Structure 1
Amino acid sequence: MTSEAAYLTELAEILWPCGGTLGRGRDDSPFNGAVPLRSGAAREYLPVPSAHNPRIILPVANRHAAARGVAAFAQRHSLRDRVRLVLLTGAFASGVAPLLLRDRLRVASGHAIEHALSAALDREVVIAIHVGPPRANRKPVLLLLTPGGRTIGYAKVGVNPLTSRLVSAESEALRLLAETRFSGITVPRPLHTGTWNGRPLLVQEPLPVGDQTDRPTRRQLLRCALEIAELEPLREEHLSACAYRHTLAERITEIGDRAEAPALRAALEGLPDVRLPFGAWHGDLTRWNLACTPRRAFVWDWERLTFGVPIGFDVLHYELNECVQAGVHPGVHRWLDSGARLLRDPLMSGAGVRPDSVSTVMALYLIDLATRYLRDRQAEAGGRLAAIDDWLLPALAGLEERAAHEARLSC
């Protein structure tokens, strides 16, 4: 059994402790090493595109919910993605998909997560599940639907210590944000928090995103990032005296004897003592967690909300993830220029980001990102940007030189 098929059976044990097995649609032959059914008749789910490469898991018996699940979890940012979406949605809506996709995840009858969600929301719930690519923080995101295919909400379940911590952190963040009045941002309301199978469970309302929303323009991105920063009163401090620098140094120490730690520590200690503005950051602001209309931004996935960080991190994070879509190394090279231009925008200058601090903020962001990846062990899980010695440390070395040059020019 492949590692992905093994992950799928482990996930089945968490979501459906009544038991699950992987097999084929036309026979009862399980994959080698599959978890056996323990009782009752099985419900069937389709791992798409296959059990060896699962990205979404859809109910066989409800084609309306399955078609909605395909549309909800599709990344429609290229012609290829749009064509795939049309074909998959049509296959499920017509009922043909179960004939084309052979792999099945069969779940025995008994108490399952659908029952817990139905009880929490006081209505019948059908689920479709987003699994996503391998990475340390991969966890199931459940699309909650009525039997007719109307979206009710989304649920997250922790599956290991890291993802359990993130689900709990997002539950706390959404409770805080529910008391916040944004002028241009909408965030999901929490509908239920609790546990399932001994693991944290969060249910939140769906946001009205779809064909009427799009990726942000440059100005929308900057305004959104600054409004998030203002979740706490903005303040300015010298890098040497700020609490953030001390916390970041502690985080580097906590990653222990990792080979990258000395370079990160030296980079932090070598940055110029410039004055920086501090505020809050979303922590993972990307095209997958942000959609906009001309007047409003819709932002979700608040599991890494953090306070007291240099202003500009959210903008840099969004831009880096955009730049690397066509390749990590050329993307990082572009980001070194485009990220700096974003930080020099008049909106960022108005928030206190000075010209002599641009490269320092970018370097701090990379050090922060590296410590996150190392702590979460993203490289071991196969994360796309996790090999920091391959791209991040060389980029950081260049930024150290730029930061020193900018500081000298301001003297």
Structure 2
Amino acid sequence: MNSETTYLTDLAAVLWPCGGLLGPGDGALRRTARRNRGNQYLPVPNAHNPRVILPAHNRSAATRGITSFAQGHSLRERLRTLLLTGAFATGIAPLLLRDRLYVGAGPGIEHALATALDRELSIAIHVGPPRANRKPVLLLLTPGGRTIGYAKVAINDLTSRLVHAETRALRHLAEARLRDVTVPRLLYDGEWNGHPLLVQEALPVGDQTDRPTRHQLLRCVTQIVGLARVRERRLSASPYRRALDERIAKLGTRPEAAPLRAALHRLPDVSLPFGAWHGDLTRWNIASTARRAFVWDWERLAMDAPAGFDALHYDLNEAVQAGVHPGVHRWLDSGSRLLRDPLMAESGLREHVVSTVMALYLIDLATRYLQDRQAENGGGFAAVDDWLLPALEGLQERAAHEATHVTG
């Protein structure tokens, strides 16, 4: 049993307290499951590398789950999605996929969600790759396969904090006015099996939406910044820097803490606009049309950060898709160009603070990764001493030069 199958059985214990067993789709275990009248789920592509968990005997729900959770950003991903949807639509998928997750017949997460929403439903589950904040995202479907919404269930202390944070964020966003940005409504929050649970509506994204263009991205970013009253403050006097300093201090004796603290205190004391940021704006959390952006996964929403962080986060995650080191090198230029766009000037961001904002973003991101222990949980991009600290050194020099050039 590898770490992923262990994760899968631990996850089953959270979602189905009556128990879950991994096994092949034939033999004694299957006969026992039939006698117990439990449900069968298919870990896809297999139990050693689960990315989605689909109902074995509900073609509509399984097919919808594949298309809803597919990233579809590369030809290989689109072909894989096409093959899987065809296999489930024709009913041959259970014959091709060997592994099964058998769950007992007692009350499980499906019953709890059906009771909370007062309607009959089926579920498909997104597991995702290993990382510290990995948690199951449940697609809620009518028995015929129509989407109802999405549920998130916490499985540990970190994910509990994130589920609670997203619940608070969605309540706040329900009262906010975003001119061109649509966010999901909170449908339910509570607990399941001692773990925080939230349900949110599904946004109307699909074939008519795509990744945002540069203009659409920055339009969205500036509106998110405005969720909080934008204030201009000197960096040294800002509550943001004090809070970041405290977060670095909580890293204790980790070797990365000292260079991060030194980098923070060496940055020029320039005046910056501070507002809100989504905290994890990537291609996986946003879709766009010409007129609107649809944004979800608000668990990292913060109301006091330098304007421009979301643009930098999106751009960095795009840049590293083809490789971390060359991607970061490109981002040092592309991120700078994004922050110099006239749309960002609407948030009060001026050209002579661009490298300071980029450096602050890297310090903030490194602190988050270290707090969450992302590198220890399989996040290669989170190895901050490998790429982030070297990039930060160059940004410090650029920041000092920009500030001196303006004030000198």
State the TM bucket, normalised to the shorter chain.
Answer: over 0.9
| Whole-angstrom CA distance in 2 between matches of 1:79 and 1:384 | 24
Question: Where does residue 389 of structure 1 map in the other structure?
Answer: 385
Q: How does 1:305-384 map to 2 (within 5 A)?
A: 305-384=301-380
Matched, 1:400 2:401: no
Matches within 5 A, 1:128-167: 128-167=124-163
Q: Which residue of 1 aligns with 2:27?
A: 27
Does 2:64 match 1:62? no
**How far apart, CA to CA, are the structure 1 residues paired with 2:280 and 2:380?**
15
- Using structure 1 for the length normalisation, give the TM-score: 0.97
Looking at structure 2, the residues matched to 84 and 15 of structure 1 have their Cα atoms a distance apart, in angstroms, of 27
**Structure 2 equivalent of residue 3 of structure 1:** 3
**Does structure 2 conserve the Cα–Cα contact (< 8 Å) formed by 1:40 and 1:110?**
no
Matches within 5 A, 1:183-262: 183-262=179-258
1:248-286: CA deviation from partner (whole Å, max 9, x where unpaired): 000000111111000000000000011100000000000
Runs of 4+, deviation exceeding 2 Å: 39-42
Uncovered stretches (5+) of structure 2, i.e. residues with no partner? none
Contact 1:277 1:310 in 2 (8 A): yes
Letter in 1 for 2:25: G
Q: Verify the 8 A CA contact 2:222 2:346 in the aligned structure 1.
A: no
2:278, 2:129 → 1: CA distance? 22
Distance 1:43 1:226, change over 3 A: same
Aligned residue identity for 2:145: G
SS in 2 for 1:385: helix
Q: Contact between 2:225 and 2:347, CA under 8 Å: does it hold in 1?
A: no
**AA matched with 1:281:** W
Partner amino acid, structure 2, of 1:107: V
Match of 2:283 among 264, 282, 287: 287
2:175 is aligned to 179
Distance 1:24 1:230 in 2: 52
Q: Report if aligned partners of 1:340, 1:359 keep a CA contact under 8 Å in 2.
A: yes
Contact 2:286 2:293 in 1 (8 A): yes
Quote the Cα distance in structure 2 between the aligned partners of 1:222 and 1:128.
33
Say if 2:20 and 2:102, in contact at 8 Å, map to a contact too.
Answer: yes
How far did residue 350 of structure 1 move? 2.6
Instruction: Quote the Cα distance in structure 2 between the aligned partners of 1:29 and 1:251.
Output: 49
Query: Matched residues in 1 for 2:164 and 2:178: separation?
Result: 23
Deviation at 1:29, TM superposition (A): 5.5
Out of 78, 84, 97, the position equivalent to 2:80 is: 84
Superposition deviation, residue 182 in structure 1: 1.4
Q: Secondary structure at the match of 2:87?
A: helix
Between the aligned partners of 1:20 and 1:28, the Cα distance in structure 2 is: 15
Q: Give me the CA root mean square deviation.
A: 1.2
How far does residue 180 in structure 1 lie from its aligned partner after superposition? Answer: 1.2
Tell me the CA shift for residue 61 of structure 1.
Answer: 1.2
Report the Cα offset of residue 28 of structure 1.
3.4
Q: Is the 8 A contact 2:282 2:314 kept in 1?
A: yes
CA distance in 2 between partners of 1:344 and 1:181 (Å) = 26
Pair 1:269-2:265 in alignment: yes
Q: State how far apart, in whole Å, the 1-side matches of 2:329 and 2:81 are.
A: 32
State how 1:75-114 maps to structure 2 within 5 Å.
75-114=71-110
The Cα shift of 1:385 comes to 1.2
Alignment deviations for residues 72-94 of structure 1 (CA, whole Å, 9 cap, x no partner): 00011111111111111010011
Task: Please give the alpha-carbon distance, in whole angstroms, between the structure 1 residues aligned to 2:28 and 2:252.
Answer: 48
2:297 aligned residue (287, 296, 301):
301
1:298-318 CA deviation, whole Å, 9 max, x = no partner?
000000000110000000000
Deviations 1:96-150 (A, max 9, x none): 1000000000001001010010001111110000000000000000000011100
Which residue does the alignment assign to 1:33?
none
1:16 is aligned to 2:16: yes
Taking structure 2 as the reference length, what is the TM-score of the superposition? 0.98
Gaps of 5+ in 1: 31-35
Task: Render the CA deviation track for 1:143-190: whole Å, top value 9, x for unaligned.
Answer: 000111000000000000000100010001001111112110000000
> Percent same amino acid among aligned pairs?
70
